[in-house]
Amino acid sequence: MTQRPKKLLDRVRDAIRLKHYADSTEKTYVYRASRFVLYHIERPPLKMGEKAMASR
């Protein structure tokens, strides 16, 4: 059985904890990342080209 890749917000949390950032920083980064995802819900980042990412 293969493991599923971690979700984006879990990867954000892992990266922040690895750098020993404050809990409040983690909370803020996760909130902002989730808002970014919700804003771009119709266009997943992996399906956007470099030009589309730069213009947003």
H-state helical runs in the chain: 8-18, 23-39, 50-55
Q: Between residues 23 and 3, which one has the greater pLDDT? A: 23
Our count of domains for the chain comes to 1
Q: Using the structure block, give the residue that is written with the tokens 């971690």.
A: 6
Structural domain boundaries enclosing 12: 8-55
Is 43 among the domain residues? yes
**Half-sphere exposure of residue 17: CA atoms within 13 angstroms, side-chain side:** 7
What separation in angstroms does the CA of 26 have from each of 2, 5, 20, 56? Answer: 29, 21, 9, 24
Is 1 among the domain residues? no
Q: What's the pLDDT tens digit per position in 19-31?
A: 999 999 999 999 9
Cα gap 36→39, rounded to integer Å: 5
Both tokens of 47, joined, read 């399906």
Residue 1 above 60 pLDDT?
yes
Is 40 among the domain residues? yes
Is 17 among the domain residues? yes
